Structure 1
Amino acid sequence: MFDEGDYAVMAIVNRTPDSFFDSGATFAFEAAVAAADNAVAQGADIVDVGGVKAGDGPEVSVAEEIERVVPFIAAVHDRHPELILSVDTWRGEVAREAVAAGAELVNDTWAGWDPQVIEVAADTGAGLVVSHTGGLQPRTVAAKPVYGDVVAEVRAELLDRAEAAVAAGVRADGILIDPTHDFGKTTYHSLDLTRRLEELSGTGWPVLVALSRKDFVGETLDLPVDRRLNGTLAATAISAWNGARVFRAHDVAATREVLDMVAAIKGDKPPKAPRRSL
């Protein structure tokens, strides 16, 4: 799926009126299309489209979620046919409609809560993000989660889920594993997962990390959402060094620059314009 030194930026476009980061800036259809165009111009490899806020909020029906994401995916697919489109959903019905409209990846953030999601990936050939949430129900927050060794337990569960997906017919080369920072975890757990991410990347499955402006960044630095970019980019660089391959991000250009710098320092890619003393 990736050559050595390749890092993919997954741009976030939320078709929700209550996103924790932008408070609905891309809820309007044309605003969302413009955001997707801008993400592509800034170097996004994937655009991830969500129709339901991950956290607490008003109930969104299956029909409403489909209405928010499916026509938009179809429109962006027409505008950017080479772009990989991802749908951020835990619902099989939504995933099936989104794949039919042009999505190639199902980002199941809620760890197989709806078993139909795996069936959709198996039936259609779509890729699948396998996540870890500590058994949480969708759109809930864990109360004082406890792990003996969070990295070991996340690793074991992700391996089990990935292998089960392949056994169910999902193509192995389309699976990504996501430790799912913050979900079912304290800030200490998310920091530990970042520090020891090589234990996940060493499994052979490509690792996706969704770090962008999350609470573990804010709590570590005691900063609100609008001041978490620097912390996010620091976690991004560490995660790339430790083997992550896909980075779900609100700030595409900044993330792309960080990842290109990491690749150059690791010796995987040459500098783009080396001139000094040459």
Structure 2
Amino acid sequence: MRKRLVIFVLLISLCAMASLASAREVRVFKPMEEDMSPMQLRNEAMAEGFALAAIEEARLMLAGDLDEVRADLLKKYFMVHGKPYIQGYRIVASEAMDAGLILRLDVRINRKALREGLKRMGIAATVVQPQAATVTWPEDLPEEAVTELQGLVTLTGLQPEEGVQPAFTLEYGPEKAYKGRLVLDDREWMSINKDMTALWFELWARFFNRNEAAESRSGMMRLAVSGWFSPDAALEFDRVLRGWERAVQEARLVEVDMQPTGVGATWEVRLLDAARLDTLLKSFLPQRGLSYQLAKEGAEE
């Protein structure tokens, strides 16, 4: 009995580890440019492939649709800042030609890191509802920098309005460094960086994560499902539940037990869309002879 329990615990652990990464196959054609070396061509093609894989995974995670303008801006962001979200890759096929390079890549995405990144960037929230904000910059800011700033506003999902908070102010200081200040009520965050994009997301992460601790405590729900004939069936539903990424942000299998009606299992889940999850549960579980109960974490049943 103890041996079976150890094996089962290992199965749960492996299932949880697998859920942290997701493999995506992408195809990229990168045109050859003047004075570009073969190594540079290959590196840029791979960076674009990684970005495409991250975009595809992000679209599945987000609770709303990412329009093409924001998707293109996010792709450009991932091409420069996307390394933390790539867990590994495999070159499936490579074809070099005079016009450029065709690559097919199998890319493993770190889903947990990507989900947290989308949250810090504000995209997870603003894909559903734009965030009103005041954004100001100096009149003598170079045109190229203004264009970059406006792109960041669009990518983040801000709706610029005068006189509202949060209020972001950008200054261009000595040694080509940017100084940013973000104000919300009695809180103020400041940063200095030569990289405007890094400065921007460092400050806006403070805003979008400001209630993270409270949400961590209050946002968890407890899903109990009973009626399976075997523990394997519960593990299979664990994979199904994790796949409902527009309804569930996080799901963790915490208990499997034998009940008079069969095998029961309990998950801790953090929701993105409670109504969507309820619809999915009702369409999936009862027809399989299963019953379920969804309640706030810590609530009495």
More relative contact order in 1 or in 2 (CA 8 Å, sep 6+)? 1
| TM-score, normalising length: structure 2 | 0.21
Q: Whose strand fraction is larger, Structure 1's or Structure 2's?
A: 2
